[in-house]
Structure 1
């Protein structure tokens, strides 16, 4: 059966609610044949099934985070799944809700990169927005999984919003400070960074210096020995690939000066920064980002939230 006919069978079953017997009578075939047609439609990618789990949040931890860090909003996933992948998917769904609340015609959205940002973009529905624009605010990885890289994520979100996209045509990290400085002054890169400073909303992840969690290590930018050196220098995590100490201060380290992307001071001036990160192991990095004042809206899970609050001394809430 051709794709068009298979799609019709799938539409009868999944959209119109006809049972397989009714479809079999329409087609003049057996129920088992209809079952095979439905399986074939899924195998050919004509059917996508999405299960929307109700997202339970923890208002107590949300209020505690808002109070402890003067956040505008905190979204805390209650009873997070044990598996990291499923946990991140649920956080992406929460993050998509947080982003949708801010969508309006003419909005400029800045996007970083990483698995958390990927899950938010994946969960976003198609919402055409007149005059909107999506801007890549940090350079490209150029290695590893292209789906979590800035250019692809910016393109994907722009497609969902039916908006133009502005790419930052530069690598995330370059070999030397001199190269980084020269690239930042290149006309198209400088223009994109100037536009990035004017976004209304930025969607970012929060990186870790734990070798098991570091996206920079997975992408091949940093070796484990370099991560160890960063930790020895006081780094607990990163925001926009800039290593931070426990209080959220950027380290005076060559790595930070080799990054091509929106500056941390400029990030602070963006009206709304939504950060998505979860898991207790990321608590030091999340706390650093909050202490540094880089986040207005935090999307996290109950385990990470409790760990962050315990580190902050808000033990009554943890």
Structure 2
């Protein structure tokens, strides 16, 4: 494929550009369907004249339907979109980018979506869809999937769809609550994943920050101990990666703690651990649920995180957590590879 792309870029560079543009239109219609022309124009930031021309061409090719409710893809349009994806990713250089990132972070697999999910809502949706697709491809019947909290995980949960396998899948929160908005809590996200996929779920009614004495007392409760056991025996773990200061703010830490993070040069947080850019733990929060020592026992791990501002956090945590796969966006991937400090 690379040889063909090289030849095409030398002989017919405009052809690849046009193909990429039409692929982008098809992909956006797929995500928004049914969608009106005005909404699509705004989403793609194209002029109405150019979009009208592209949509008319796609309709003539039998790839798009236009109705009063809006535009939708035909079955042929969906097939073309799916078959074009690897070709377009190669054209955009994502295969090479993924390979470099795998080597840099020393992880098994990297999925990259276009854009910067921190600033582009559609990039965040694509990031979430990629995470949901990966869960769907990995999960087997009678398995437990542990999920962490956060806005990215919420987006992944909303991108889940039913399959027969999910009917016998149990979703559990990887951790207790952090006092954040309820829709970002792991309990809520586990329930949403179960509802949208057709699976089952269990909840962990324990605060995230808890003393050891309280933790030992609560784990004597059968319902809580059963869920904790399920979490620690999870076959798949899905989590995101947070900016250190942002996560400290969500936990309502005061100025003194923020100054500590500044002094320790903390860049990222996950599972209650705060890390500097070299992957060194600079602070640990006592948490209920999965802890660092539990991660090697989890069968497969998926980290879903994007945005250029999270590049240092992603790089630091991926160098410590033995996850199988990172799902990220182009902005974060390129920022990580541009950093000069050792990981």
In 1: Cα distance, 2:192 partner to 2:206 partner: 19
Question: How many angstroms apart in 2 are the aligned matches of 1:270 and 1:305?
Answer: 25
* CA displacement 1:24-55 (0-9 Å, x = unmatched): xxxxxxxxxxxxxxxxxxxxxxx999999987
Post-superposition CA distance 1:178-214 (Å, at most 9, x none): 434544555433332221111111110101124xxx1
Match of 1:279 among 307, 317, 326: 307
- Asked if the contact 1:177–1:257 (Cα under 8 Å) also holds between the matched residues in 2, the reply is no
Instruction: Determine if the alignment matches structure 1 residue 153 to structure 2 residue 181.
Output: no
Q: How far does residue 233 in structure 1 lie from its aligned partner after superposition? A: 2.6
Structure 1 pair 199–81 and aligned structure 2 pair: CA distance change class (3 A) = closer
**Residue number in structure 1 paired with 2:124:** 88
Match of 1:172 among 197, 203, 208: 208
1:143-201 deviation line (CA, Å, top 9, x unaligned): 44222211111111112232221111101123x45434544555433332221111111
Structure-2 change in CA distance of 1:166 and 1:209 (3 Å): same
CA gap of 1:308–1:184, structure 2 versus 1, over 3 A, is: farther
Corresponding position: 1:229 with 2:288? no
TM-score (norm 1): 0.72
**d(CA) in 2 for partners of 1:274, 1:198:** 16
Once structures 1 and 2 are overlaid, which stretch shifts more, 195-204 or 221-230? 221-230
| Runs of 4+ more than 4 Å apart | 47-57, 184-187
**Secondary structure of residue in 2 paired with 1:138:** coil
Please give the per-residue CA displacement for 1:35-85, whole angstroms capped at 9, x wherever unaligned.
Answer: xxxxxxxxxxxx999999987641111111122223221011134467244
Identify the residue that residue 151 of structure 2 maps to in structure 1. Answer: 115
Give the whole-Å Cα distance in 2 for the aligned partners of 1:225 and 1:74: 37
Does structure 1 conserve the Cα–Cα contact (< 8 Å) formed by 2:209 and 2:285?
no
Distance 1:224 1:277 in 2: 27
2: distance between equivalents of 1:239 and 1:96? 20
CA–CA separation in structure 2 for the residues paired with 1:50 and 1:151:
34
Give the Cα–Cα distance (whole angstroms) in 2 for the partners of residues 147 and 132 of structure 1: 21
Please, what TM-score do these two structures have when normalized by structure 2? 0.67
Alignment coverage as a number of residue pairs: 261
The answer for the alignment partner of 1:133 in structure 2 is 170
**Does 2:225 correspond to 1:190?**
yes
Task: Say which is worse superposed, 182-191 or 126-135, in terms of deviation.
Answer: 182-191
- Please state whether the residue corresponding to 1:236 is helix, strand or coil: strand
Per the alignment, do residues 81 and 237 of structure 1 end up closer, same or farther by CA in structure 2, a change over 3 Å counting?
A: closer
Kept in 1, the 8 Å contact 2:112–2:327? The answer is: yes
More helix by share: 2
**Does the 8 Å contact 1:180/1:258 carry over to 2?**
no
1:125 is displaced (CA, Å) by: 1.4
Give the deviation of 1:298 after TM superposition.
Answer: 0.3
Structure 2, gaps ≥5 residues long: 1-32, 35-68
1:200 aligns with 2:238: no
User: Separation in 2 of the partners of 1:48 and 1:124?
Assistant: 24
CA pair 118-177 structure 1, distance change in 2 beyond 3 A:
same
What secondary structure, in the 3-state scheme, does the structure 1 residue paired with 2:168 have? Answer: coil
Q: In 2, distance between residues paired with 1:261 and 1:81?
A: 28
Q: Could you say what secondary structure the match of 2:266 adopts?
A: coil
Gap runs ≥5 in structure 1: 1-13, 16-46
For residues 209 and 70 of structure 2, what CA distance do their matches in structure 1 show? 37
